[in-house]
Amino acid sequence: MTIAVQLAFQGGGARLSAFFPAIMALQELERAGVIAVKRVSGASAGAIAAALFAGRANIPALIEFCKGLEAKKDLMNQVFPKIDYSTMGGKAGIAMNVARHKPFGDEAALAKILGDAFSAARISATTIGSLSIPCYITSANLVHHQANVASNDKQIIQCLIESAALPFFFRMAGETFDGGVLDNLPIDALRIDSKLETEFGEIVAVGFRQSSYAEPVTSPYRLGLRLLESSINARTAYSKALLGEDRVVELPITFDQVTLSTFDLNSFFAVCKSTSIQSQIEVGVSNWFKAYSEKRANPEKITVVADSAINEAHDHAKIVASQSAKLRQLASIYHGRSNVRFATTLLEVTANSLKSVNPGEDRFDYQDDFYIGDEPVFSHVTRLFASNSGHVSQNQLLVYDDQGEEIPSVTFSVPDDVGDHNWILALFGKPIMPTAERRKYTLLSKQHSGNSMRPIVEKGHDYLAIQLSQAESADCAEIRLFVPEEIELIMQNGTQELLAACKIVEEKVEEGEKLVVGKDCSNDPAVKRSCPPDFRAYVWRAEGLARGDVLRVVYSKK
């Protein structure tokens, strides 16, 4: 029995060469009728692996080509220059590059290597759509904070360059960067209606085991790499947990005298030159998919997992939890620092999931108009939840001054220890400085989140809330809910007693929390003008909030 699957390849930098024998195993499994790969996706090095598989690459020929690259030192130094932070000269060179907005690596040289590699692998396709199966190559749009999927008419090599454009290393500015920054294991590109199994088969991830040791941070450059890796690893861990361990193939990264590293080009060539390492990976992948196929063909069969494998899984979970905890700690530190006062704080929700025709994802728009105190502001932190949908699919955070000029920022999505929340940490490129005049700033945060508002129609009740945790005070707080016009609701103050009576699960009350009483302002003409066509507006408003106050409204269907 042939099992249909979809493959998502994890990004891994120089670990790319480990995918070569894995792809050979997958090709042989298809020829033997064990699996049928219907679609593939990938980010960064994973995007290259996905395109190689979808292009039916001749892997032995590709490996021979890659072995020859080691001797082309001038070309390789253009793409992957050695960055020396140990000497004053090296530090000066790095500083000069940054000051001139000049990346360290050469994209044009990388494009030449990729083009020659695909020719060596005997891939004739030139566009995404001309590959043998659908291939979803993702890149990161850091302006809108969302993953982009390359369209079928795009050139393969150009898409791979964009998906591998590591910030600072290959690009210093622009919108599109390395896809791994936002989603290093893009399973969402293969999901349909948030499902992990579709008519194309189950989604299976092909990635790498987590390293059991991380070298100490010895320089600002290494610190930057470690922060980037931590952010990438946290999102990857979330995707793997969503799939479950029985749908994740993890390639080993440690062999005799060779440890594969994201930024170590020597390990890339070591795999290309070692038939022993290639054989270990190829056999491991082949055995994994044979066992997977057998379990899917015989779902009633009980598979006994060895104690050593269980211990290894536990160790892996501890490492992932530790990395996520460090990022959460950083977000928590910034979250506790407040030097702003809100003029208004607004949550606006458009419940597209409640539409009877062509329902879509619910949209959550946050807007904070604020003034700063007498100290600079370096960051913003907000906490999102998607307990009904389980996943925030799109996320954008922007800050503007009173002249409408955007304040550059870099945004990190940090999962919490429960799994249905995200910390959104925005670090400003330049701090917002106090000024003599009272300037007002605006923060906009936009998310799309599955079927979050479905309980209104499925259970008859739901709630929305704003807690003032990022400012000392707010003149006004407002919650707007737009629902299809055929849905009529009653709004009530969201007390704990009402939440319990409506059987709405609510988080425990935080220390110092005070529920403020809101009022119905649904007839406000300004709100009605902003309401989408064929929707009805419900507005809950309160004034004069202090730090820790909560505005909460419960919606009940008439």
Domains of the chain (ranges, CATH numbers): 3-303 (3.40.1090.10), 336-557 (2.60.40)
CA distance 442 to 419: 29
Q: Label residue 418 exposed, middle or buried (CB < 10 Å: 0-12, 13-18, 19+).
A: exposed
Contact 344, 369 (CB under 8 A): yes
Sign of the alpha-carbon torsion through 323, 167, 402, 349: negative
Confidence (pTM): 0.54
Cα distances from 554 to residues 384, 385, 406, in angstroms, run 18, 17, 35
Of 136, 121, 142, 151, the C-alpha closest to 59 is 121
CA distance 217 to 225: 9
CA distance 307 to 311: 6
374 DSSP assignment: S
CA distance 516 to 493: 8
Contact 481, 351 (CB under 8 A): yes
Q: Is 452 a catalytic residue?
A: no
Q: Label residue 533 exposed, middle or buried (CB < 10 Å: 0-12, 13-18, 19+).
A: exposed
- Per the prediction, the chain carries an average pLDDT of 79
CA angle 142, 195, 53 (to 5 degrees): 70
Least confident of 254-268, 334-348, 431-445: 334-348
| pLDDT on residue 145 | 67
Secondary element (H or E) of residue 219: none
**Which residue do the tokens 């029995």 mark?**
1
What is the SS3 assignment for 373? coil
Contact 126, 118 (CB under 8 A): no
| pLDDT on residue 320 | 46
Least confident of 281-285, 412-416, 505-509: 505-509
Q: Is 256 a catalytic residue?
A: no
Cα distances from 237 to residues 11, 12, 108, 207, in angstroms, run 13, 14, 32, 11
Q: Please report, as a single letter, which amino acid is at residue 406.
A: E
What is the SS3 assignment for 311? helix
| pLDDT on residue 270 | 92
What is the SS3 assignment for 99? helix
What does the pLDDT average to over 224-248?
A: 71
Which member of 41, 44, 139, 267 is catalytic?
44
Which member of 139, 178, 353, 368 is catalytic?
178
Q: Which residue has the higher pLDDT, 166 or 122?
A: 122
Q: Which residue has the higher pLDDT, 62 or 323?
A: 62
Least confident of 160-174, 247-261, 506-520: 160-174
Contact 408, 429 (CB under 8 A): yes
What is the SS3 assignment for 116? helix
Q: Is the pLDDT of residue 212 over 70?
A: no
